[in-house]
Amino acid sequence: MSYREPSLWDKAKMGLIMGGSVGACLGCLIGFYSTMKFGPGPRGYLGTIGQYALGSGASFGFFMMIGSCIRTDEDLSLGADDRAALRAQMNRYRWTGSAATQTTPVAFYFAKAAKKGSSSEK
């Protein structure tokens, strides 16, 4: 089974759904508090709380979607040979024994990045 990184569109949908659900929950709480403090108004209890929930969910979901798109980064800094070496190291770590004797894939990546950084500083 291979792992495929979520696309930008998948991450945008995930941010919208997560932000919308959190915003709707907060909107329900704020709407409930508002109706208890100031009364339901002309729309009634359910209409007022629903309006708060939809407004808060839509705005928070929109900003969460934008934020998740901004945070999406593609690792283009590694060359093809570095990616091949990292993939080989990950496969070797996955299929051979104990973690104590192996260099983890993350440590391998950072060691490779440190070598690049130290050679470019000179």
The whole-model pTM stands at 0.56
pLDDT score at 117: 59
Q: Which of 79-83, 84-88, 98-102, 117-121 has the highest mean pLDDT?
A: 84-88
In Å, how far are 20, 54, 117 from 92, measured between CA atoms? Answer: 41, 50, 25
pLDDT tens digit sequence for 67-80: 998 887 665 566 77
Where does the pLDDT of residue 109 fall: very low under 50, low under 70, confident under 90, or very high at 90 and above? low
- Separation CA 45–CA 34 (nearest Å): 10
